[in-house]
Structure 1
Amino acid sequence: MRWYLHVDMDAFFASVEQVLDPALKGKPVIVGGGNGRGVVTSASYAARKYGVHSAMPGFQAKKLCPHGIFLPNRHRIYSEFSNKIFAILEQYSPEVHAISIDEGIVDLTGTERLFGPPLNTANEILARVEKELGLSASGGLSTSRVVAKIAATLAKPHGFIYVPPGTEQVFLSPLPVEAIPGVGPKTHQELLQLGIKTIADLLKHPDLRRRHLDLDEPGHEGRSHDHSIGNETTLDKPLKEMEKMAEVLWGLVEEVGARLRQEGSYARCITVKIRYANFKTITRSRT
């Protein structure tokens, strides 16, 4: 039987800023978008109470939370904290897969002899991240990667959900299909047209069940599905020089490439999106 712990940091960038400046604890911290031109990259839960969320235009965030504390992005510092988080995860398994800078999956299969039951190990990992780094994380533990991911998402913020073997369908059934990772607006609409609103509805269709959940696979290991891997950034000042633009672009490409290599995957389609100061967006793709 396989065991997967999905770790997802809570409001990561904003939480790092609060660790570095304890006076920000409990306050509406908003990272990015402070000049009214960019977008929000992270918002503390105190800021989210006002409707602020990541990817929101800065001017809109200021309208919703005028007293919010806007801070610039400090990607180098966030990367340093991310490295420390994954260093802790890697002490418990050689199979740690980074999904993003603040999210990863730890394969705890076969670690019982060293660390004891996976449930105890999962709790220990989350506790260590909080104790050693001052950052809260949410986690999900299951025999399926997909279920572990869903559990971690439902556990946010600062929670943990354990889905015992054999209870996966009971856990999943009442949830809406959009709770499944990879089910975006387009797929959601396609499923709705088939009369599929909940995961319980989806489980009645063996082909869709295997495609989206893989609960029938031996050991619930799951298979690799088509999905997107992306990276983006918001500039503090508009750029006009091609060399500087290329430098930023290659930095984004390198991070995406690293994640592809880590997964052992390759890209079939590449998309570049540019958003101007007036929020006009241009997208180009090549397959």
Structure 2
Amino acid sequence: MYEEQIHRKIIHIDMDAFYASVEQLDNPELRGKPLAVGGGGERGVVSAASYEARKFGVRSAMSGVLARKKCPHLIFVPPRFERYKEISKKIRNIFKEYTNLVEPLSLDEAYLDVTENKKGNPSASLIAKEIRQRIANELHLNASAGISNSKFIAKIASDINKPNGQKTIPPEEVISFLEDLPIEKFFGIGRVTAAKMFNLGIFTGKDLKLKSEAFLTEHFKSSGTHYYNLVRGNYHSKVKPNRERKSVAAEHTFITNLTSEIFMLEKLEKISEELEQRLASTKVSGKTITLKIKYSDFTTQTRSKTLPYFIKNKEVLLETVKDLLFQEKVQNSVRLLGISVTNLNINSKNKPEKLIDFQLKFEF
């Protein structure tokens, strides 16, 4: 298993500021200007920021209000997901000319296993360079890439020479690379976990490697074993081109908080329509319906119901969600509502070709 891992050739392709770059591509007047895709109002959230905006500290998931404070001349444009999906499909068609082992993570990034590839090219680095050049020539967008013998290292590497660059970490350099890597740069270690590690004297991969598995499991439970293996390069996850979809969902954030169930039902009807379309496009249905409620104080509540049959139409969705909504009184004013369908009818005879399990978020 370990020998197989050493000789695997994995590329992680990550589009540079994808949503924002598409908007600048389609509207030349936006090129070279600080741009944010998302809402700039009181309830707005930045979905993506151009590199011109990032120079001012604007980042994705930042509130629109804070983004404007950091960059007063920031330009906001609404998201156009159909356009992003259209271009994403063209990018993946390029990937498929090199390998069928393509695992999409989202519209703008994917893993490629090119150990054995359609071009017969033994160099993963040259393949990555060629793919990036084709994306630039054919779609007029920039992409960055990371190349190594595992998905974990390739993903970290793709961020090193951004934007419009690539980085290769050969197998013989993986361990030293991990030892020198700041702990907050490890993919999967967020701010909360990083802060906890700092308090334990863990600042780099080398510090992490000095801790025993028992010590790590004591402080991080089951994740401790994961971190123990990760820093030693024992990461064997393969590129999975046909990952099964686990859920289909849609959610909306509102400009004004909702205080009445009547208003909530009106919004849930629109969300049900959107979810019905998504279930139809992915050719799946499910038994478990979950209502997600995020309150004005940012606390989140979920309520679920499992039916004895698979459903995919908005009428049954909405009736089930109504029952869940009135299951108990809402605790506060509501800023977000979402509906998800799980327990899907995915089997060998009914399986989507790809997994693109993302939630589109709108304001209205």
Q: TM-score range by the shorter chain?
A: 0.7 to 0.9
Separation of aligned partners in 2, 1:202 and 1:229: 34
**1:65-97 deviation line (CA, Å, top 9, x unaligned):** 221221111111111111111111121111100
Question: What is residue 32 of structure 1 aligned with on the other side?
Answer: 38
Separation of aligned partners in 1, 2:291 and 2:200: 30
Q: Is 2:294 aligned against 1:245?
A: no
SS at structure 1 position matched to 2:57 = coil
Q: 1:103 to 1:118 in 2, by over 3 A?
A: same
Question: What is residue 14 of structure 1 aligned with on the other side?
Answer: 20
Separation of aligned partners in 2, 1:237 and 1:192: 38
Equivalences for residues 262-277 of structure 1 within 5 A:
272=292, 274=294
Question: What is residue 226 of structure 2 aligned with on the other side?
Answer: 211
Greater alpha carbon shift after TM alignment, 54-63 vs 244-253:
244-253
Q: Contact (CA 8 Å) 2:39, 2:64: kept in 1 or not?
A: yes
Greater alpha carbon shift after TM alignment, 133-142 vs 186-195:
186-195
Equivalences for residues 137-216 of structure 1 within 5 A:
137-205=143-211, 207=213, 211-212=226-227, 213=230, 215-216=232-233
Q: 1:274 to 1:188 in 2, by over 3 A?
A: same
SS at structure 2 position matched to 1:41 = strand
Q: Contact (CA 8 Å) 1:229, 1:256: kept in 2 or not?
A: no
**1:148-195 deviation line (CA, Å, top 9, x unaligned):** 111012222221101122001222222211211111233324433442
Equivalent pairs, count: 268
The letter of the residue matching 2:15 is M
The letter of the residue matching 1:90 is K
Q: 1:191 to 1:167 in 2, by over 3 A?
A: same
Cα root mean square deviation, aligned: 3.4
The letter of the residue matching 1:114 is G
Question: What is residue 281 of structure 1 aligned with on the other side?
Answer: 298
Separation of aligned partners in 1, 2:55 and 2:9: 34
1:271 positional shift: 9.2
The runs of 5 or more residues in structure 2 that have no matched partner are 1-6, 217-223, 240-245, 257-262, 285-289, 305-364
SS at structure 2 position matched to 1:281 = coil
1:210 positional shift: 6.4
Separation of aligned partners in 1, 2:169 and 2:46: 33
Q: Is 2:100 aligned against 1:80?
A: no
1:235 positional shift: 5.4
Question: What is residue 50 of structure 1 aligned with on the other side?
Answer: 56
**1:12-46 deviation line (CA, Å, top 9, x unaligned):** 10000111112222111111113343111011010
Q: 1:133 to 1:223 in 2, by over 3 A?
A: closer
SS at structure 1 position matched to 2:133 = helix
Greater alpha carbon shift after TM alignment, 232-241 vs 69-78:
232-241
1:111 positional shift: 2.1
The letter of the residue matching 1:274 is K
**1:194-231 deviation line (CA, Å, top 9, x unaligned):** 422101112334646962427554xx53379xxx9998
Q: Is 2:264 aligned against 1:222?
A: no
Equivalences for residues 63-142 of structure 1 within 5 A:
63-111=69-117, 114-142=120-148
Q: Contact (CA 8 Å) 2:42, 2:255: kept in 1 or not?
A: no
Q: 1:166 to 1:275 in 2, by over 3 A?
A: farther
Separation of aligned partners in 1, 2:274 and 2:102: 28
TM-score, normalisation: structure 1 = 0.80
Q: Contact (CA 8 Å) 1:33, 1:59: kept in 2 or not?
A: no
Separation of aligned partners in 2, 1:87 and 1:113: 15
TM-score, normalisation: structure 2 = 0.64
Separation of aligned partners in 1, 2:51 and 2:248: 24
Q: Is 2:20 aligned against 1:5?
A: no
The letter of the residue matching 2:152 is V
The letter of the residue matching 1:121 is I
Q: 1:199 to 1:223 in 2, by over 3 A?
A: farther
Q: Contact (CA 8 Å) 2:15, 2:109: kept in 1 or not?
A: yes
Greater alpha carbon shift after TM alignment, 2-11 vs 25-34:
25-34
Q: Contact (CA 8 Å) 1:39, 1:234: kept in 2 or not?
A: no
Report which of the two structures shows the higher radius of gyration computed on alpha carbons.
Answer: 2
Q: Contact (CA 8 Å) 2:10, 2:147: kept in 1 or not?
A: yes
SS at structure 1 position matched to 2:43 = coil
Separation of aligned partners in 2, 1:31 and 1:138: 20
The runs of 5 or more residues in structure 1 that have no matched partner are 259-269
